[in-house]
């Protein structure tokens, strides 16, 4: 049996539900940290510990990228003293940016940096969003050359999205399953493109538990372009409650929160 629900408002503060805070810290840590410190039932010691752990994860993820960026900047700035750099127009700057992004596709895309953690997978989503922003800016330019470069980059990004997003959803399901297993929440993805997320837990025996979880996860499910989320309260159940997710297709260029 399938049941389709729409989330209902709940009088209890969402951040006072400990398991909701756990889900947020795992799936969407910026909001999770806010919820963690707003929660009135979690002890301060645990709040500090979790915050430090998340901070270390973020530093580890971005440390290598920051070092590379710093080295690149140092190389670019190592010009002769007294040499003035010409100021580029907005059109020329955008043109150069598009050319750099297109050139980056000459090498095979390496997703190994992203695939093994929730944070890494979210970084890959952000990467596609950044490309979308550059492409849309190029498409809106009045310069024909910039338009052509934007079209070229769009073609390459779309091809990569079609390949990457199904794998990203699959990897996301695996990482989430490993993290949530200890909380007796079982996660899997379904379908050739892994567009359906399945969650099973005793929490979902109540409509309230389902609705709260859906409100917690809807942004993340949209970012990874899932099409449906299904909730069961025990393994092997033929009955489930499902929500359709209004998310872009894998071949659509889309910015986050747009």
Answer whether residue 199 is part of any domain: yes
The conformation of residue 88, written as its DSSP 8-state character, comes to: P
**pLDDT at res. 73:** 46
Asked if residue 254 is part of any domain, the answer here is no
Cα–Cα distance for residue pair 9/7, rounded to 1 Å: 7
Residues 223, 236: Cα–Cα separation, whole Å: 28
- Which residues in 103-141 are b (16+ Cβ under 10 Å) and which e? eeeeeeeebeebbebbbbbbebbebbbebbebbeebeeb
Q: Looking at the domain assignment, is residue 255 inside a domain?
A: no
Dist CA 234 CA 205 (whole Å):
8
Position 213 scores a pLDDT of: 92
Beta bridge partners of 3: 241
> Scanning the structure block, which residue is given the tokens 């309230």?
208
Return the closest-CA partner of residue 201 out of 179, 181, 184. Answer: 184
Count of domains forming the chain? 1
Residue 81 domain-assigned? no
Number of residues that make up the chain: 258
Per-residue pLDDT of the chain (258 residues; tens, 9 = 90+): 555 544 444 455 656 666 666 666 666 556 666 666 666 666 665 556 666 565 655 555 555 444 444 444 444 444 445 555 567 788 999 999 999 999 999 999 888 878 788 888 888 888 999 999 999 999 999 999 999 999 999 999 999 999 999 999 999 999 999 988 888 999 999 999 999 999 999 999 999 999 999 998 998 999 999 999 999 999 888 899 999 999 999 999 998 865
Q: Are 147 and 138 in contact (CB under 8 A)?
A: yes
- Residue 237 pLDDT: 85
pTM as predicted: 0.68
Closest CA to 95 of 132, 155, 148, 131: 148
Residue with tokens 């310069």: 143
Tokens encoding 2: 């399938």
**Is residue 61 in some structural domain?**
yes
All residues at 6 or more sequence positions from 188 whose CB lies less than 8 Å from its CB, including other chains: 173, 177, 197, 198
Specify the DSSP element, H or E, that contains 232.
strand 228-232
The answer to whether 169 and 225 are in contact (CB under 8 A) is yes
Ramachandran region, residue 184 (left: φ > 0; alpha: ψ -120 to 50; beta: rest): left
- What is the pLDDT at residue 224? 95
Domain that holds residue 106: 2-72+89-244
């Amino acid at each position: 049996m399938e049941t389709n629900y729409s989330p209902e408002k709940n009088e209890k503060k969402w951040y006072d539900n400990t398991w909701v805070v756990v889900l947020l810290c795992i799936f969407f840590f910026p909001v999770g940290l806010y919820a963690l410190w707003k929660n009135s039932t979690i002890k301060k010691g645990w709040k500090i510990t979790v915050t430090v752990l998340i901070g270390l994860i973020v530093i580890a993820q971005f440390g290598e990228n920051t070092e590379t960026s710093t080295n690149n900047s140092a190389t670019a700035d190592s010009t002769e003293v007294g040499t003035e750099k010409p100021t580029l127009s907005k059109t020329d700057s955008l043109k150069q940016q598009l050319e750099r992004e297109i050139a980056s596709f000459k090498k095979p895309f390496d997703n190994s940096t992203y695939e093994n953690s929730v944070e890494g997978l979210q970084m890959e989503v952000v990467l596609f969003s950044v490309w979308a922003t550059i492409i849309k800016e190029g498409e809106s330019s009045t310069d024909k050359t910039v338009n052509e470069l934007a079209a070229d980059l769009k073609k390459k990004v779309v091809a990569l999205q079609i390949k990457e997003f199904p794998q990203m959803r699959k990897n996301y399901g695996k990482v989430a399953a490993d993290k949530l297993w200890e909380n007796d929440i079982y996660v899997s993805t379904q379908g050739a493109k892994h567009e359906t997320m399945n969650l099973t837990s005793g929490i979902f025996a109540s409509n309230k538990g389902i609705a709260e979880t859906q409100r917690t996860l809807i942004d993340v499910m949209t970012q990874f372009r899932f099409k449906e989320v299904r909730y069961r309260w025990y393994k092997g159940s033929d009955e489930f409650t499902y929500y359709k997710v209004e998310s872009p297709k894998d071949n659509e260029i889309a910015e986050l929160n747009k």
